[in-house]
Structure 1
């Protein structure tokens, strides 16, 4: 593959995840990632990512915009949980079937690295923050917004974990709806 071909960012992400899964995060170099991505250079890598850790979190800003836009576009009659459920659906829809195998690899790579687990926690907190801010824009009280955002994020990540390793044909959206339903049922057991 020539260096000038399109989708360099996506190719770098896929190459990094494959290499991290094969030889470990710490053992993989930026040069190896760039080469695996079709003969790209280290310079090209650094045009897209600040370091090799960040390649695993590509799209984080996009995810925040997706949930914010979904919450902002929810009907006025929607409850905070309905707004968040809609946002989780929109975010889950981004993860198409062709990304499932990569998602499974990504989860394993993160589970094997304390550094990546820390970064994953930051990403999760950013998603909660994006949902909370969008709910606050809709004049949802702070505590309600925070709780709804935490539940939505928990539903998304629970669903993502199932979907990444699942052998059933359900989409991430379907897994997310199931996870959200389970959380709602669990909440009813709290009192």
Structure 2
């Protein structure tokens, strides 16, 4: 183990994805992840309670980034546009890391425990965005509705994109999903 290197959480997350892809989630240990990242096992467990959490490091980072985007927008930006901007940024980041996205998707799809944790982490992403909207003055019920709906649109766009990421644009697919939802809601017949 050589000299200190920056971003230990990111290095562990990268090492984990590489090992999970090569040998499977269940077969990979925290000690192996730490060794691959050039760190001691105890450093791994100081930073992450278990290998599931290192696997979901990217979703936790997405939550922090989304909250920062929403908080940094001008006050006149509508809540729906704030949530869209936060998730569009995430789409762009994912699209830059197609291989990691595919590996993560395949592992989540093949492992019920990871799938359940993935749903939970995305619910936390939505909750964080809703809280950021409330801090900007949006009513709580609207903030929750917008954030959770936008995360659902994001997940659906991702599922379509991951089937052929080389020929599709994830941010565009996300925006198209929001537009499709807006059109469906606009064409809804008024209640009597």
Shift of 1:40: 3.0
- Cα gap change, 1:5/1:72 in structure 2, threshold over 3 Å: closer, same or farther? closer
- Equivalenced residue count is 189
Query: 1:52-93 CA deviation, whole Å, 9 max, x = no partner?
Result: 111111144432232223223334433321221122223333
Shift of 1:123: 0.8
CA distance in 1, matches of 2:122, 2:110: 18
1:41 corresponding residue in structure 2: 40
Query: 1:99-136 CA deviation, whole Å, 9 max, x = no partner?
Result: 21011100111112222122112111111111111222
**Do the aligned partners of 2:12 and 2:54 also contact (CA within 8 Å) in 1?**
yes
CA distance in 2, matches of 1:186, 1:117: 29
**Aligned Cα root-mean-square deviation (Å):** 2.6
CA distance in 2, matches of 1:150, 1:28: 33
1:157 corresponding residue in structure 2: 155
**Do the aligned partners of 1:3 and 1:40 also contact (CA within 8 Å) in 2?**
no
Shift of 1:20: 1.9
1:168 corresponding residue in structure 2: 166
- Cα gap change, 1:136/1:4 in structure 2, threshold over 3 Å: closer, same or farther? closer
CA distance in 2, matches of 1:3, 1:33: 18
Are 2:28 and 1:64 equivalent residues in the alignment? no
- Cα gap change, 1:169/1:6 in structure 2, threshold over 3 Å: closer, same or farther? farther
- Cα gap change, 1:28/1:118 in structure 2, threshold over 3 Å: closer, same or farther? same
**Do the aligned partners of 2:126 and 2:148 also contact (CA within 8 Å) in 1?**
yes
**Do the aligned partners of 1:100 and 1:163 also contact (CA within 8 Å) in 2?**
no
- Cα gap change, 1:126/1:167 in structure 2, threshold over 3 Å: closer, same or farther? closer
Structure 1 length normalisation: TM-score? 0.82
Gapped regions of structure 1 (runs ≥ 5): none
CA distance in 2, matches of 1:86, 1:8: 28
Are 2:80 and 1:54 equivalent residues in the alignment? no
Gapped regions of structure 2 (runs ≥ 5): none
**Do the aligned partners of 1:74 and 1:86 also contact (CA within 8 Å) in 2?**
no
